Structure formats: C-alpha cells, structure tokens
Chains A and B, each alone.
Chain A
Amino acid sequence: MTAVVVDEVTKSFGRTPALAGVSLVAGTGVTGLLGPNGAGKTTLLRMLATVLAPDAGRIRLLGHDPGKPDERLEIRRRLGYLPQEPGFHRGFTAFEFVDYVAILKEMTDRHARHDEVRRVLDLVGLTTVSGKKIRALSGGMRRRVGLAQALLGEPDLVVLDEPTVGLDPEQRLRFREMISRIGEGRSVILSTHQTEDVAALCGTVAVIHAGRTVFDGTPAQLIEQAAGRVWLARERSPDARLAWRTGTGEHRNIGDSPPAGVELVAPTIEDAYLLLIGDESVAVAA
C-alpha cells in the first residue's frame, strides 16, 4: 500500500491560490518537498497532516480518505506531525510538553505514557534536558522537542515541515541522521529549502513551484535533468541563466545551451533545482 497519494489537489485562501493542481506519490522512506517560499509546501503538508481539507482533488493517506471523519481518525492514530512553527505552552518542560501531546494521542495510562515520552526524548538525544523549561532551551533543542512529539507511538507516516530550518551545520547533520533512521520502515515526508538535505536523505523528491508539482522522482533523476547544462568557463557566459565565479577563478555557468567547446561538468542537485524553478528561485536565493 502506498502511504501517500495526492492527485490534482487544489486549494485557495480567499482569492489567493495556494495549490493549483499538485500530484504526489510517496511510499516507505524519506520523501523531500523542495520549492521556493510561497510555493505551497506548508499548505500541502497541512493536508498530509489531515488538518486542512483541499478544495478539489483526491488525497489518500495510509489507505484512508482524510475527508471522512472516521477514516481521518484512523490516519491520525498512525500519524506524527511537526508543524513549521510548533508552539509550546509557556512554562512546560520538554517532558511535560511531549507528555501533553501523548495525552492527545490517546495514551491515557500514566506509566506507559511516561515510558513512551522518555523513549522519544532519548531518540532525539534530549534525555538530560527533559526536565528543563522549553523556553530555556536553544532553538536546535526546541526543534528536537518538536521532532520527539512527532515520533510518539511509532507512527507509520511522519510529516515534517522544514525540520532543519534554523539549525547550524552540525545540528543539521545530527538531524539528518535522526530522520534517516526514522525513515527506515515508515514514510517520512519533509519540506526543506536545503537541496543538500534532499540529496543526502531522500529516496524521492518532489519539486513544488507556484502551487504545482514540477518534478517528481529520485534525486538522481532530478540531477540528470541538468546534465549537459552546467559548464566551466573563463568568463560569465551570456547564455547562462546563472553564473558565478568559483574559488578557482573559473566561472560556473548554468543554462540551457552551453556554447560549443566548453568544459561540461557534473551537475549537482542544486543546479537542477535552479534550472527547474527558473529565475524566481534565483531572486529568492540571491
């Protein structure tokens, strides 16, 4: 059974279209959603977390229809969700916050629940600070508290909205390790701005742009799209969509038609992403 099937889903807020026909299929393993700000990633992830209904189109999660209340409940029993900006109650400790979410996840037996809270806090490496107030924790630790609650009850589907945003490089690597471990045997869908995260973690990747899926496949297939479109030259090529001077003094050019005789180089996932999204992403990245 495929964990996530999204078919031609649309959603508007007032007159603003957020999703204009997104399709996506995701199975076991880690699936990455890439896209510029405002592409609709958060809206789509809210739908995958069953908290938002589409205007049109079809969604099936873990074989159920989230539009029907009883099936939605079945999905929620097997779901973990980290929102983009998870809020925390003032004055809760890390343990108390995760315990609170565990109650909402129908864990009523106190001892079993506390054991489970300790388990997920240990998974994200927060055992030693579990008794600290969340407001006293660093940003990276708060992210991990958020991740811990998403892992309660060993969910089959884990939805993470920008789990690595605001983390320093070392924390990002630790997070990657955690997420890749979570992705073993279950479905993890995450959104990110970081193309490296996708290359490092994800078995499949979908690129969302202006409310549409513009790519759906493996990271290797995404990189393949840029083959023959990245070259090194002494100068900035006029044909390049984007070019920059590298540390060696040569210019790395990305564009649709490399001039004859230039040295083509192996593209990265970032090159492919930039070519796919076009100039708007360049404006955002600049």
Chain B
Amino acid sequence: MSAEPTAWHADTATLSRYARDDLAPAAAASVEAHLLACARCRAGVAAAVPAPRLDAIWAAVAEAVDSPRMTLTEHLLVRLRVPDHTARLLAATPSLTTAWLLSVTVALVFALLAAQSGPRGVLVFLALAPVLPVAGVAVAYGRDTDPTYDVALAAPYSAFRLVLLRTAAVLLTTMALVGLAALLLPAAPAVAGAWLLPALALTGTTLALSVRVRAPAAAGAVVALWLGAVFAAVGATGSPYAAFGAVGQTACLAALLISIAFLSGLHRQAAFDLRRES
C-alpha cells in the first residue's frame, strides 16, 4: 500500500489479545482508535478472531435483523406461557385481529343500547351474544378465510389441532368481551348470563358440522337455526326469555355434549386434514 494512513502498527500479540478481550481498558481503547484508521491492523484482528465466534456473531446479527416481530396478540400469549411457535399460529387468526375485536365491540355497544329499551331489547342482546363467537370461529380457519390454507393442509401440523387452538383463543377473547358487556345489561344476573351455554353449544355445533361442510356454511346454518328457535319461542309463549329457560338451556347442553362426542371420533378429526370442496 502506498498511502498508509498511520506510521505504526500494532503487533500480532497485541491484536490477538485485543480480539480475546484480554487488554487493559486504556490499551484496548488505544488499539480500537488505531483500528478505525488502519486497514492493515483490522485485517490482523480479523485473522485473530476464531471463525466459530465470528459465525456466532453473524448469526446473532442476522437473527436480530430478520427475526419476526411479535404482534400484540403474540406478546400477550407468550406472557401467558403459550409457546412462541403456537402464539405465531394463533396470531395469524383473522378473528383475533384488532379490527375483528373492534367490530365485535361495536356490535356489543349497539346490542347494549338496544337492551336499554326493556326486555325485548335484552332479548336482542341475548340472541346476538352467542352469534359473535360462532362468527369468529367460522372465519378462524378454512379455505375461505385463511390465505395459507392449502399450504397448511399439506404440512404435517394437524389441521384439527389448529382448528381447536384457534377456536379456544377466539372463544376466550370474544366471550370475555361479551361477558363484560353483559355486566352492563339492565337485567337480573340469571338473565344476563343466559347466553353462555348457547354460545358454547352453537360453537360446538358449528365445528361438528364443519366436518362435512365449509365452516362459514356450517355457521350460517347454525345461526339461522338459533335465531329461528329464539324468535319462534317468543312467538309461541309471548315471554321474551322463553328460549333461555330450563328447556332451552338443557337443549343447548345436549347439543354441546353431542358435538363434543361427535368430534372426539378420530376419523372425523382427520376429515379436517383434507380440502373442503362443498
């Protein structure tokens, strides 16, 4: 090199001690200042650093640069001791996004406003409350809403397991929101909690039906049946809470248990592993 910027060079022993972090602070600072200006000594340090250490440093840099950033949902889940890979699978759920939870909240606000008008309004809230988790579960997974559906199916991860995971997460979040709203209902606690069992029953039935048909179709059928039954019961008895009495709750419990029994069949769980064509 013709134009050496510095007149002196650090000796090999000094450079290798610097690389091992084995110099006194003052000496290390001096070598460091020199290194910034001297390419020849930088090359000397590079040669003194063991390759495995360089690789490790490089890997750590790469990891810091392109490692996925965790979403709010993921942070929350990891804090709840959910493994980070499971949290990632949940964070991609369409019905766990802020936008979705916001729409659920808006729906609940309107239902609460309606409920102020009296028992008929409370009925609107009670009829709507179980529909919200069903809608969330219907879009949580499947070829209609999950853009990676085909790729996910062909992967070894069990589709049924993914469905259950996402269903559980959607149920927890949506039902927590509904529960908070129900506290503000102008009704007795027994009435305000009457949506709970129907919500679970409708969700269970939707999952059971989606063994055979696509989830949105299953959810649509279940919701239509539910709303039909609620308003038919009002028409038949004249009492707004007719569908939420002992008979209604027992029917919901039965539907939930039948759904669970149905879904516990291994070949039915395996049906989720194949593409829904109907």
Contact = CB atoms under 8 A, between A and B. Distances in A.
Interface of A: 13, 46, 49-53, 69, 72-73, 76-77, 79, 81, 83, 86-90, 92-93, 95-97, 99-101, 103-106, 108, 110-111, 113-115, 118, 130-131, 149, 159
A149 B151 contact: yes
A176 B153 CA distance: 26
A49 B85 contact: no
Contact of B83 (A106, A108, A149): A108
Nearest to B84: A110
Contacts of B66: 93, 95, 118, 130-131
Contacts of A111: 63
B242 to A, nearest CB: 41
A79 B154 contact: yes
Contacts of B62: 118
A128 B274 CA distance: 36
Contacts of A105: 155-157
Interface residues of B, number: 33
Given A88-B147, A106-B157, A52 B88 contact: no
A72 B273 contact: yes
B26 interface: no
Nearest to B156: A76
Contact of B148 (A52, A100, A106, A114): A100
**Residue with the highest number of chain A CB atoms closer than 10 Å, among B63, B68, B270:** B68
Contact of A88 (B59, B88, B148, B152): B148
Contact of A51 (B65, B68, B69, B154): B154
A67 to B, nearest CB: 10
A110 B148 CA distance: 21
A101 B89 contact: no
Nearest to A146: B151
Contacts of A99: 68, 88
A52 B155 contact: no
A52 B275 contact: yes
A49 B151 CA distance: 9
A83 B88 contact: no
A86 B153 CA distance: 12
B155 A76 contact: yes
B149 interface: yes
9 contacts: A46-B275, A53-B274, A81-B150, A81-B154, A87-B150, A89-B92, A104-B151, A105-B157, A106-B155
